[in-house]
Chain A
Amino acid sequence: MIAHVRRKTIFAFLGPAVAALLLVGIAPLLYAVWKSLHDFNLTKQAQTKFVGLENYWTVLTDPTFWQAMGRTATLFLISVPIQLALGLLIAIVLHRPGLTLFKTLTRLSLVLPMATTYAVVGLLAQVMLNQKYGVVNQMLGWIGIDPINFIGDPTNAFIAVIIWDIWQWTPFVALVLLAGLSTVPPEIEEAAQLETKSQWLVFRFVQLPFLIPSLVAVLILRTADTLKLFDMPFTMTRGGPGSATEFIAVLIERVGNRQFDIGLASAQAIIMLAITIFLARLYIRFFYREVN
Chain B
Amino acid sequence: MKLKMHVSALALAASTLALGAQANAWTLEEAAKPYAGTELEVLFLDRPGYNAAIQMLPEFEAATGIKVNYTVVPYENALGEQVRDFAAGGDLDIALIDLVWIGNFAENGWIVPSETFINNAELADPALAMDDFFPLVLNAFGSWNGVNYGLPFDNYSGLLFYNRCMLEAAGFDKPPATWQEVMDVYGPALTKDGKYAYALQSKRNETQSADSFARFLWPFGGSFLNAEFKSNLLSPESQAGLQFRQDLMKFMPEGIVAYDHAETVNAFAQGDVAMITEWSAFYSTVVNPETSAVADCVEIAPEPTGPAGRKPALGGFSLAVASQADEAEQAAGWLFIQWVTSAANAGRYLEMGGVPARKSAYADPALAEKFKFIPALVESWQDGVPEFRPRFAEWPAITEIVQEWGTKMMLGEVSIEEGSKMIGEKMEAVLAEAGYYDGKKPLAQ
> Which residues of chain A have a CB within 8 Å of any CB of chain B?
42-45, 130-133, 149, 151-154, 157, 237-243, 254, 257-261
Contacts and interface: CB of A to CB of B under 8 A. Distances in A.
B281 interface: no
Contacts of A131: 253-255
Contact of A152 (B104, B256, B393): B256
Interface residues of B, number: 31
A239 B270 CA distance: 27
Interface in B82-104: 83-84, 87, 104
Contacts of B393: 43-44
A240 B267 contact: no
Contacts of B396: 43, 258-260
Contacts, number: 75
Contacts of A261: 397
Interface in B388-445: 393, 396-397, 400, 404, 407-408, 411, 413
Interface in B36-57: none
15 contacts: A43-B83, A131-B253, A133-B270, A151-B258, A152-B257, A157-B258, A237-B204, A239-B204, A240-B257, A241-B257, A242-B404, A242-B407, A257-B80, A259-B397, A260-B80
A132 B272 contact: yes
Query: Chain A contact residues: over half helix, strand or loop, or mixed?
Result: loop
Contacts of A157: 258
B263 A130 contact: yes
A259 B411 CA distance: 24
A238 B258 CA distance: 9
B69 interface: no
A241 B258 contact: yes
A90 B272 CA distance: 43
Given A152-B255, A237-B258, A240-B257, A42 B83 contact: yes
Pick from A42, A43, A260 the residue with the most CB of B within 10 Å: A43
A113 B263 CA distance: 26
Contacts of B87: 42-43, 45
B197 to A, nearest CB: 16
A190 B79 CA distance: 63
Given A242-B404, A258-B400, A43 B256 contact: no
A188 B87 CA distance: 63
B205 interface: yes
Contacts of B205: 238
B203 interface: yes
Contacts of B408: 242-243
Given A43-B393, A259-B397, 4 more contacts: A132-B253, A152-B258, A238-B203, A258-B80
